[in-house]
Structure 1
Amino acid sequence: MNKFVTMIAAAASLTVAAVALSAKANAGAVLDNVLATKTLKVAVGADWGPLSHLDDSHELVGYDVDVAKAVAEHLGAQIQFVTPGWDIITGGKWQGRWDLAMGAMVPTKARAEALDFPAIYFWGPNSAIVHKDSKATTPSDLEGKVVGVAGDTSAEAYANHDLKPDWQNASPVQYQFKAGQVKIYGTTKIAFDDLRLGDGVRLDAVIVDTTFARDSIKAGYPLKILEPPLFSAPGAISVLPGDKEFGDKIAAAIKKMKDDGTLSKLSTKWYDADYSKEQ
């Protein structure tokens, strides 16, 4: 009996060792592939305003694009952009289609169950946006109104009074109104397209990153931003868990850009303000 137990224990030890060796073998797999192929695949958006969008020549441009290019240069790699849906990015089932994702994702604990966040590179205020003809002057005027948000965002969580600011040094959220109805959209641009139809036609307001709203207003959208902002949150680069070496390389690249002022310059280039630092 004791011999049998000993054999089981030995087998279990071998299994644990095999798993450990396997984990060690997988460590660095993403980084190894990036360095071997000299290509960094990055997920961005085609209509994310100053973060990333298609210009008149149908080229991807924006803060995210420039930051990602700098990260690729730090790794000695060429860059390849893909534009999956936001819900696909946050779901974490990337299946090797890209190596990292931009989008200034808020690094909540819930998202950390599927993703890692090696570096924060953006701090952005979020505001309530209304049609220019709206009589609303402060966010509290939106009590009971129809509010649009992009799905699976911190804006959606705020609208539903479910935003959990669990990132480092987070301040408690003060809800300034309770929506009567929250309408979910695939992207904020689509929500803005509904809002621009007129005050209360389809929406009374949209909650979004303030910088996106300012860019849309510059582009001709008949909107206005209500003050004060609703909340401010950090935006991080996201990767899949399991490759600490890769995450460390990304963190080092962003730290270098912060230290030498590159990140600040890129933010000012795209936003006329420095959102690379905590607001």
Structure 2
Amino acid sequence: MKKLFFLIAILTVAFSLSACGAKPELPAASAPGKAEGANQGSDTQGNTLEAIKQKGKLTVAIDDTFPPMEYRNDKNELVGFDIDLAKAVAKEIGVEAEFIPSAWDGILPGLDAKKYDMIMSSMNITDERKQKANFSEYLKLGQIVAVKSGNPLGIKSKEDLKGKIVGVQLGATSETAARKIPGVKEIKTYNGYTDAFNDMGLGRLDAIVVAEAVGRYYMKTKPDTFEIVGDTFQSLPVGIAVRKNDADLLKALDTAVQTVKNNGTYGEISTKWFGTDKSKE
């Protein structure tokens, strides 16, 4: 009988502790910045740069439909201004560049998800984008208006796009610029400018708002098909995007960009693709 009373007493105490909110011991929390499944070298405190140097490889996200900045030639090789400059920048850091083609509308989320180390794809630096990434500036580009050769609608500037059907690249700064133009009848979005220019050639678009470098490239390659009207507008800086916590990588990129400008490499690459040395601008 005494044993029975003793057992009941123990159970009563245990139940009381549980009812009063006694908590089991929890496992220790993970260390900050050590998310499960994160890529090696993509943690906080600048470890991405250390990992890049250990691997000997800098992974670079690009949109490979953006000539002359980054695109595929007739041999399916990646070529362009950004391609050449990224290789030069990687060389200054002491590694090789590896390019990862990515859809433009998902390129920033891919950076945040650590699918690559950085984005170097003619990305304009905007206040909205600065909320999501840090940037190493390396160029300035504006927007232009492209129309069919002969300019059948008499469009002379962006102000003449009122009542017109305008093509842009989805998620690009050109889309933002076009949506700020008053009175545009319709804005059609495309994953790449090749489709937009093809549609304009077929009469499905009245004009295209496009980054200046891309528009002038199409003018150079297809001079009898398209032409540029009006002045360049909404000129913005272009930068290499890195994750917010990759301060060491950002600093290394700033140094590398300045070095290739100082030693003449930037000028050679710029002259090759634009016919002018943009390091002086």
Tell me whether 1:153 sits opposite 2:138 in the alignment: no
Q: Answer yes or no: is the 8 Å Cα contact 1:128–1:230 preserved in 2.
A: no
Tell me whether 1:58 sits opposite 2:76 in the alignment: yes
Please state how far the C-alpha of 1:93 moved relative to its aligned partner. 4.6
> What amino acid does structure 1 have at the position aligned with 2:81?
Y
1:112-165 deviations in whole A, cap 9, x for unaligned? Answer: 121110x2111122101111142324113221111111111211111111xxxx
Aligned to 1:11: none
Aligned to 2:200: 195
1:81-96 aligned within 5 A: 81-96=99-114
Aligned counterparts of 1:212 and 1:181: Cα–Cα separation in 2: 22
Tell me whether 1:143 sits opposite 2:145 in the alignment: no
CA 93–122 in structure 1, closer or farther in 2 if over 3 Å, else same = closer
> What amino acid does structure 2 have at the position aligned with 1:47?
T
1:239-276 deviations in whole A, cap 9, x for unaligned? Answer: 11101011100110001112223222211110112334
User: Mind listing any 5+ residue stretches in structure 2 that lack a counterpart?
Assistant: 1-28, 36-42
1:38-117 aligned within 5 A: 38-117=56-135
Q: Answer yes or no: is the 8 Å Cα contact 2:46–2:248 preserved in 1.
A: yes
TM-score, normalised to structure 1, is 0.80
Q: Answer yes or no: is the 8 Å Cα contact 2:82–2:121 preserved in 1.
A: yes
Aligned to 2:209: 207
Aligned to 1:172: none
1:5-51 deviations in whole A, cap 9, x for unaligned? Answer: xxxxxxxxxx9xx75999xx731221111011111111123221011
SS of the equivalent of 2:83 reads helix
SS of the equivalent of 1:110 reads helix
Match of 2:218 among 211, 216, 236: 216
> What amino acid does structure 2 have at the position aligned with 1:196?
G
SS of the equivalent of 1:257 reads helix
Match of 1:131 among 148, 151, 154: 148
SS of the equivalent of 2:163 reads coil
User: Mind listing any 5+ residue stretches in structure 1 that lack a counterpart?
Assistant: 1-14, 162-174
SS of the equivalent of 1:235 reads strand
> What amino acid does structure 2 have at the position aligned with 1:251?
D
Match of 2:187 among 155, 172, 182: 182
Aligned counterparts of 1:277 and 1:205: Cα–Cα separation in 2: 31
Q: Answer yes or no: is the 8 Å Cα contact 2:52–2:58 preserved in 1.
A: yes
Q: Answer yes or no: is the 8 Å Cα contact 1:128–1:205 preserved in 2.
A: yes
Q: Answer yes or no: is the 8 Å Cα contact 1:131–1:205 preserved in 2.
A: yes
Please state how far the C-alpha of 1:229 moved relative to its aligned partner. 1.9
Aligned counterparts of 2:249 and 2:48: Cα–Cα separation in 1: 7
Q: Answer yes or no: is the 8 Å Cα contact 1:51–1:64 preserved in 2.
A: yes
Q: Answer yes or no: is the 8 Å Cα contact 2:219–2:228 preserved in 1.
A: no
> What amino acid does structure 2 have at the position aligned with 1:129?
A
Larger Rg belongs to: 2
SS of the equivalent of 1:96 reads coil
Please state how far the C-alpha of 1:212 moved relative to its aligned partner. 0.9
Tell me which of the two structures has the higher relative contact order, counting C-alpha pairs closer than 8 angstroms and 6 or more residues apart. Answer: 1
1:266-277 aligned within 5 A: 266-277=269-280
> RMSD over aligned Cα, in angstroms?
2.3
Q: Answer yes or no: is the 8 Å Cα contact 2:89–2:260 preserved in 1.
A: no
Q: Percent identity?
A: 30
